[in-house]
Structure 1
């Protein structure tokens, strides 16, 4: 993306010599960090139901070994009933000193069509300064950013009495179904003054970002049934519209003619202070040539602070297997991203009410509630935010951008509820070309180095942050 359109701020100078010394110390650590990341990518740790869970366990064991090698005093693999294995590594704080919790996840998304990848998704390959492979960015690079920062400054932190806990979850891509029970079960070991969540993205290659807002999530499955069973379309078609046609008509009511979400009662947050270039967005999103964008207003508002609604799946006969019969039943999964300030329960009620209000009288419509996740809005004026901005600016040599994220990380709300005194920072290793969740996911290796340096600077500054709060 292009440089954001915003008022310039002075880049904190800090101690430039100190930063360069740390950068020089980091340089020889990077080759091993990349090799360790490649080893993690080779493990197909998909935690979705129906996938072999042995690789998820193997991935947790590999992460645990990396944390032990980085000098963590206590490292255990834990889980709660029905949950995937997570790793907790700890070096406890000295009396009166702060603890920083570093979060990432070691599970990954399914690959999709393997034949569409330029190289095997679980065999990492370097091309043109990027590392390609499933999980190379999301979020095994987040794991390795934590490990590398600890390799770099872990001894200094211990000498200063700063506690560090690393929590690497194993089911984030599957919706973190046992996250809340897990952090409640291990509350004492996970308690922290500052929580750094490394699962977001930077503004562009060369420009860091601090994620200050996230949309929440509501999804459901709607079922339209027109017949008890399929019947011949020639003999019975006419008085009955097939279920797929009726589903299409129902789904079409979710947006107006301009592509704006047409569900009444949904909230909007304020428009962001930054904007992005449309050409960059089109390129990064892969918008087809000649297609207009949907909605109106700033792109950043459409992406971060307004509701967005998508149909992400439909059960229907494939074209190849279609027969001349009336489809009796159709099911669709509807995903609604909600802006900061919106309540997931209210959003779910509004979406269900819309579907019921527009349900055709020529079929039965049933709605099955799905996942709900709360949005996130960072606390204004939090000292840790300023420390993060300064650390990013020193590592990149350019000021950080405060951004929103259209995606959702619902468990952040759980962290804030279970640890209400903690400050939460949302950072990340991705960039707009990383294609997280998509084909040819990749990590920019130059950005990875800057992320590791920035985190090391942030961790070193946590002690002074604690003194300022005292």
Structure 2
């Protein structure tokens, strides 16, 4: 067939639909929880399942075990390729086959490891994150079949939910199997099940531990309270000093950005409040668009705090305390730079001259797409043809550190971040689900995109 149309692709996806949904059902049942051991037999079985799935759609796929930076065995990864023409563009398809744990199955309305269809959604752990990504790649390659005009490489990772510790060593060992012109990362999502999106940016992340000390030892709060503040109060003052009166983070040297490629549609505050379970009366902090505040401006969260529990508390002034801050950085700022600025601010703003020590922890770079790249324009066209509506691009407030690492190692490649999720997906949470109509449109989108990239 010379020129495939959206209808041609849609017809092929319809005829393959039961198989595509079956892929998801089988994948959910595998219980590929990397937190139970990335080197485990259950993870090897999951990788073998995905490799066979890729072979069924023409990819010469295999399972390979990665190695951690210290040389110890790492994740079970799936790599492979399908070369149709040495002169054609090469596209790397990424997804991950590991899933989040289910701490309490009682919080689910269905069995988390039995795919359950309710209305137009399929429920199960890993349905959206990232079984949907695997299903998209499988469905798109099957739909194109012998009409595929680009070379394909695949990398289906086995430890994304664990922070990808063996990711870099694995790429360095298999560099030639990753080199490509375009990289499609199917691990994000759409504006809604009906409105497609490219993910335009990801915030970076950096963490610090902050210790605030006022005394060499505990003392009685009645005898010394007043001129001597407890370490927890001093820590609270220090934390509060990072913000201005509007609730914007105001730490010199920590950058803020506006949405990458411009803001097409702001987030709906009522929806955000409902999705996050915000209590009545709480006023959203910060200024500017809600989208910028959640996608491209920095944010700090206290994710740990050492303080005596209420139960068993008694009348002493706490001499010192430690808390951990997670700073989400603007997409284009180096996290080390933001971390240094945050540390300097905290030390220089010690309340009442208390001793403040900052221990710098891990960093992850953010990422911003190139809105003017040819691949970006092709993806936008494909989305509109497949979904029947114009895409509304969006950023992500979270971090996926391997994407900027891919971009760093392969600077010439154009990276596109797509995916099967939507606001109702509940990835990482109870009742994770995937919109089946949305998945179908995503499969059509990727097949159309691969066809366009051949040009």
Same fold (TM over 0.5): yes
User: Offset at 1:190?
Assistant: 1.0
User: Offset at 1:318?
Assistant: 4.5
Deviations 1:109-140 (A, max 9, x none): 33354433333433433223222233221122
State how many pairs are aligned. Answer: 446
User: Offset at 1:23?
Assistant: 1.2
Tell me the equivalent position of 1:301.
292
User: Offset at 1:34?
Assistant: 2.1
Q: Does 1:276 align with 2:276?
A: no
From 77, 86, 106, give the equivalent of 2:77: 86
Distance in 2 between residues matched to 1:190 and 1:87, nearest whole Å: 12
Task: Report if the CA contact (8 A) 1:78-1:88 is conserved.
Answer: no
- Which runs of 5 or more residues in structure 1 are unaligned? 1-14, 465-470
Q: Does 1:166 align with 2:157?
A: no
From 179, 189, 194, give the equivalent of 2:167: 179
Residues 139 and 234 (structure 1 numbering): CA distance in 2 closer, same or farther, change over 3 Å?
farther
Q: How does 1:12-31 map to 2 (within 5 A)?
A: 18-31=5-18
From 319, 326, 344, give the equivalent of 2:335: 344
Residues 34 and 315 (structure 1 numbering): CA distance in 2 closer, same or farther, change over 3 Å?
farther
Moved more, 256-265 or 325-334: 325-334
User: Offset at 1:294?
Assistant: 0.9
Residues 243 and 143 (structure 1 numbering): CA distance in 2 closer, same or farther, change over 3 Å?
farther
Tell me the equivalent position of 1:250.
238
User: Offset at 1:104?
Assistant: 0.9
From 403, 408, 413, give the equivalent of 2:394: 403
Q: Does 1:447 align with 2:438?
A: yes
Q: Does 1:415 align with 2:406?
A: yes
Distance in 2 between residues matched to 1:64 and 1:333, nearest whole Å: 40
From 63, 72, 80, give the equivalent of 2:59: 72
Deviations 1:364-385 (A, max 9, x none): 5432322212222222421111
Residues 316 and 24 (structure 1 numbering): CA distance in 2 closer, same or farther, change over 3 Å?
farther
Residues 414 and 322 (structure 1 numbering): CA distance in 2 closer, same or farther, change over 3 Å?
same
Moved more, 295-304 or 37-46: 37-46
Distance in 1 between residues matched to 2:306 and 2:134, nearest whole Å: 36
Tell me the equivalent position of 1:206.
194
Task: Report if the CA contact (8 A) 1:45-1:53 is conserved.
Answer: no
User: Offset at 1:91?
Assistant: 1.3
Tell me the equivalent position of 2:22.
35
Residues 379 and 229 (structure 1 numbering): CA distance in 2 closer, same or farther, change over 3 Å?
same
Distance in 2 between residues matched to 1:124 and 1:234, nearest whole Å: 60
Task: Report if the CA contact (8 A) 1:67-1:75 is conserved.
Answer: no
* Equivalent position SS for 2:339: helix
* Equivalent position SS for 1:201: coil
Moved more, 173-182 or 357-366: 357-366
User: Offset at 1:235?
Assistant: 8.4
- Which runs of 5 or more residues in structure 2 are unaligned? none
TM-score calculated relative to the size of structure 2: 0.88
Distance in 2 between residues matched to 1:309 and 1:427, nearest whole Å: 26
State the superposition RMSD in angstroms: 2.8
Q: Does 1:387 align with 2:391?
A: no
Residues 49 and 233 (structure 1 numbering): CA distance in 2 closer, same or farther, change over 3 Å?
farther
Residues 97 and 135 (structure 1 numbering): CA distance in 2 closer, same or farther, change over 3 Å?
same
Q: Does 1:289 align with 2:287?
A: no
From 40, 55, 58, give the equivalent of 2:42: 55
User: Offset at 1:288?
Assistant: 2.4
Tell me the equivalent position of 1:467.
none
Distance in 2 between residues matched to 1:289 and 1:276, nearest whole Å: 19
* Equivalent position SS for 1:349: helix
Task: Report if the CA contact (8 A) 2:6-2:386 is conserved.
Answer: yes
Distance in 2 between residues matched to 1:51 and 1:435, nearest whole Å: 23
Distance in 2 between residues matched to 1:325 and 1:48, nearest whole Å: 40
Q: Does 1:194 align with 2:185?
A: no
